[in-house]
């Protein structure tokens, strides 16, 4: 990473996170908005991590510990794919400060690289929020070897790359298509929405097909042994 890329990356992070607004803005209303946003994001992070842990722990309790890693990778990939798909066109290809950035003595590739790295950092955060609590739940039941912890830690930073890259390419295609129409933003939103619905449909179909292979009778027995009563 060259110096220009690092400077742009740092600047974009400070602006988007609201740190600069909180530090330098004199308007108390704008500062309060930053604080409210930070509190809301903190609550969302806690809820998301708690849900992932409960989901993985529940799978472990009913004897499906082996599928927890697969669920973690799938959930992470879906979240990263959807987040990147909706944000890629605006962040990578149609940023509002385009004229100002292009006036700077930096290459276009440097600007795109800095924005891609910023988006990667955001996606890694999603990956950690999902995979860490689910990994903890998996370890409580599976008691894996030391090598698993190393691989799982690396996976939290690598898993987001593939769906992010695919979504970025799709976002570029959507941006290229929508730019040919008069109402560019509207077409962009519609195409992104249609692609998202299609992607979710394929994911649900795949989940249904794989779910059909689970031994329901064995699950019932395991749940009964865990003391879960059925009506």
pLDDT score of 227: 45
Lowest mean pLDDT among 41-45, 82-86, 139-143: 82-86
Q: Judge whether residue 165 has pLDDT over 70.
A: yes
Q: Which has more confidence, 208 or 172? A: 172
Task: Say if 208 falls within a structural domain.
Answer: yes
Identify whether the C-beta of residue 64 lies closer than 8 Å to the C-beta of residue 142.
Answer: no
The number of distinct structural domains making up the chain is 1
Q: Judge whether residue 207 has pLDDT over 50.
A: no
Task: Say if 213 falls within a structural domain.
Answer: yes
Confidence band for 206, pLDDT divided at 50, 70 and 90:
low
Q: Which range, 34-43, 64-73, 175-184, is most confident?
A: 64-73
Reported as a single tens digit per residue, the pLDDT across 66-81 is 999 988 988 888 888 8
Task: Say if 87 falls within a structural domain.
Answer: yes
- Alpha-carbon distance 75 to 138, whole Å? 15
CB neighbours (10 Å) of residue 160?
Answer: 29
Task: Say if 133 falls within a structural domain.
Answer: yes
Task: Say if 231 falls within a structural domain.
Answer: no
Q: Which has more confidence, 64 or 207? A: 64
Task: Say if 106 falls within a structural domain.
Answer: yes
Q: What is the mean pLDDT of the chain?
A: 75
pLDDT score of 26: 73
Q: Judge whether residue 49 has pLDDT over 80.
A: yes
Task: Say if 25 falls within a structural domain.
Answer: yes
Task: Say if 230 falls within a structural domain.
Answer: no
Which structural domain, as residue segments, surrounds residue 191?
3-225
pLDDT score of 217: 44
Identify whether the C-beta of residue 191 lies closer than 8 Å to the C-beta of residue 177.
Answer: yes
Q: Is 81 exposed, middle or buried (0-12, 13-18, 19+ CB in 10 A)?
A: buried
- The mean pLDDT value for 133-160 works out to 92
């Amino acid at each position: 990473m060259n110096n220009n890329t690092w400077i742009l990356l740092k600047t974009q992070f400070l602006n988007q996170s609201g740190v600069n607004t909180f530090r330098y803005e004199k308007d108390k209303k704008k500062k309060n908005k930053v604080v409210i946003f930070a509190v809301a994001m903190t609550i969302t992070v806690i809820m998301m991590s708690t849900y992932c842990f409960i989901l993985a722990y529940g799978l472990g309790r009913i004897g499906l510990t082996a599928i927890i890693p697969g669920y973690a990778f799938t959930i992470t990939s879906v979240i990263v794919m959807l987040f990147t798909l909706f944000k890629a066109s605006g962040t990578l290809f149609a940023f509002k400060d385009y004229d100002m950035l292009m006036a700077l003595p930096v290459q276009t590739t440097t600007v795109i690289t800095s924005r891609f790295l910023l988006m990667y950092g955001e996606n890694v955060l999603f990956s950690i929020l999902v995979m860490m609590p689910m990994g903890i739940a998996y370890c409580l039941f599976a008691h894996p070897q030391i090598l698993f912890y190393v691989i799982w830690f690396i996976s939290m930073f690598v898993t987001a790359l593939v769906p992010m890259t695919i979504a970025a390419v799709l976002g570029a295609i959507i941006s290229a298509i929508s730019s040919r129409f008069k109402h560019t933003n509207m077409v962009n939103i519609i195409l992104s929405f249609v692609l998202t619905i299609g992607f979710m449909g394929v994911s649900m179909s795949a989940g249904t097909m794989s779910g059909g292979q689970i031994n329901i009778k064995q699950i019932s027995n395991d749940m009964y042994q865990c003391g879960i009563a059925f009506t």
